[in-house]
């Protein structure tokens, strides 16, 4: 399977190139960087510490899509929307790990999935996706007497908050309760807030150091707490999951899928 990587010179991009190289039956189809990048023209495999691939990093996204069976995208919201439209035009499968997408941007990606296979997930880790499933199950089992709080911590350079994974956990908890997350989420508390409103799903965001990603879902009631936690210590788990997802897209019908589909947890 020929897999390409958008933003292949970045930290995650290089890990993806390494994971594609290690995966049986997979080859690197190409990689892109935006105009003005100092890495344009470089060999993406050499940048990732691998033997030369003979490929050159390009800003010609269309050419890379044309050469690939699947494309992995961990770039930016605006770029990912453009890539989804190109995927729809070329019929190339797209794996999206980009976070911070607006409702309109998510809708545009969903529309593109009518014409091609798009696998989109806020987190590609197998462990985190198991946490999504457990969160939904626990939320459905425990009643409204259990307050739900989601705590996440990431490195100092992360630009969006709460994290896409934290919001994914919130959506899982809301599904378990049969409610819409937007109607019950509480992402900011400051000053005199008054008592906690029953049924709300709260979020706390921490930033600092080089933390890859820590997430805890707390179910707190009078007399007891249930806590579900996942901690990532290496970004390689995200790259491994993304390549697994890319391979899973082979032969699928057009549509919007998630890692829960890839892992058979739906």
For 228-261, how does the pLDDT look when each residue is reduced to its tens digit (9 = 90+)?
Answer: 999 999 889 999 999 999 999 999 999 999 999 9
Residue 123 labeled ligand binder: yes
Residue 116 labeled ligand binder: no
Residue 99 labeled ligand binder: yes
User: Which one, of 243, 241, 255, lies nearest residue 125 by Cα?
Assistant: 241
Sequence-ordered list of residues with C-beta below 8 angstroms from that of 252, at least 6 positions apart, any chain: 93, 117
Sequence-ordered list of residues with C-beta below 8 angstroms from that of 93, at least 6 positions apart, any chain: 69, 70, 71, 87, 116, 117, 118, 119, 246, 249, 250, 252
Residue 117 has pLDDT above 90, yes or no: yes
43 and 130 fall within a common domain? no
Question: Domain limits at 11?
Answer: 2-120+235-262
42 and 149 fall within a common domain? no
135 and 77 fall within a common domain? no
243 and 225 fall within a common domain? no
242 and 110 fall within a common domain? yes
165 and 199 fall within a common domain? yes
The enclosing domain of 58 has a CATH number of 3.40.50.720
The chain-wide mean pLDDT, for the chain, equals: 96
Q: Provide the angle, in degrees to the nearest 10, between the axes of the packed helices 11-22 and 236-248.
A: 50
Task: Tell me the per-residue pLDDT of 204-216, one tens digit each, with 9 for 90 and over.
Answer: 999 999 999 999 9
pLDDT at 210: 95
The enclosing domain of 188 has a CATH number of 3.30.360.10
Task: Tell me the per-residue pLDDT of 71-107, one tens digit each, with 9 for 90 and over.
Answer: 999 999 999 999 999 999 999 999 999 988 999 999 9
112 and 132 fall within a common domain? no
Q: How confident is the model at residue 123 (pLDDT cuts 50, 70, 90)?
A: confident
Q: How confident is the model at residue 202 (pLDDT cuts 50, 70, 90)?
A: very high
Residue 135 class from Cβ within 10 Å (0-12 exposed, 13-18 middle, 19+ buried)? buried
36 and 60 fall within a common domain? yes
Active site residues: 154, 158
239 and 115 fall within a common domain? yes
Report helix, strand or coil for 209.
coil
115 and 149 fall within a common domain? no
Residue 35 labeled ligand binder: no
Distance, in Å, from the CA atom of 81 to the CA atom of 96, rounded to the nearest integer, reads 10
14 and 112 fall within a common domain? yes
Residue 165 labeled ligand binder: yes
For the record, the structure tokens of 47 come out as 């940048």
Distance, in Å, from the CA atom of 223 to the CA atom of 57, rounded to the nearest integer, reads 57
Residue 12 labeled ligand binder: yes
The average pLDDT across 197-203 equals: 96
Q: How confident is the model at residue 130 (pLDDT cuts 50, 70, 90)?
A: very high
pLDDT at 266: 75
Number of domains in the chain: 2
Residue 97 labeled ligand binder: yes
Residue 241 labeled ligand binder: no
Q: Is the dihedral of CA 54, 59, 60, 61 positive or negative?
A: positive
pLDDT at 265: 81
pLDDT at 141: 97
Taken as a whole, the chain contains a residue count of 266
pLDDT at 182: 96
144 and 166 fall within a common domain? yes
Q: How confident is the model at residue 22 (pLDDT cuts 50, 70, 90)?
A: very high
């Amino acid at each position: 399977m020929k897999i390409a990587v958008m933003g292949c010179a970045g930290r995650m991009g290089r890990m993806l190139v390494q994971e594609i190289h290690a995966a049986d039956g997979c080859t690197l189809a190409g990689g892109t960087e935006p105009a003005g990048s100092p890495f344009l023209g470089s060999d993406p495999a050499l940048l990732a510490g691998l033997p030369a691939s003979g490929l050159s990093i390009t800003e010609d996204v269309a050419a890379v899509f044309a050469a690939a069976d699947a494309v992995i995208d961990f770039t930016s919201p605006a770029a990912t929307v453009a890539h989804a439209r190109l995927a729809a035009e070329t019929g190339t499968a797209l794996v999206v790990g980009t976070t911070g997408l607006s409702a309109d941007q998510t809708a545009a990606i969903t529309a593109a999935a009518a014409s091609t296979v798009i696998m989109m997930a806020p987190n590609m880790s197998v462990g985190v996706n198991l946490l999504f499933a457990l969160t939904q199950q626990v939320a459905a089992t425990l009643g409204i007497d259990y307050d739900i709080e989601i705590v996440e911590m990431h490195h100092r350079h992360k630009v969006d908050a709460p994290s896409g994974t934290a919001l994914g956990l919130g959506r899982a908890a809301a599904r378990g309760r049969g409610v819409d997350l937007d109607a019950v989420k509480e992402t900011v508390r400051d000053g005199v807030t008054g008592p906690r409103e029953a049924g709300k799903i709260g979020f706390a965001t921490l930033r600092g150091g080089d933390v890859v990603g820590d997430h805890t879902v707390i179910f707190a009631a009078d007399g007891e707490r249930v806590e579900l936690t996942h901690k990532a210590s290496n970004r390689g788990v995200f790259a491994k999951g993304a390549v697994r997802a890319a391979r899973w897209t082979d032969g699928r019908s057009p549509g919007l899928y998630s890692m829960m589909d890839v892992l058979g947890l739906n």
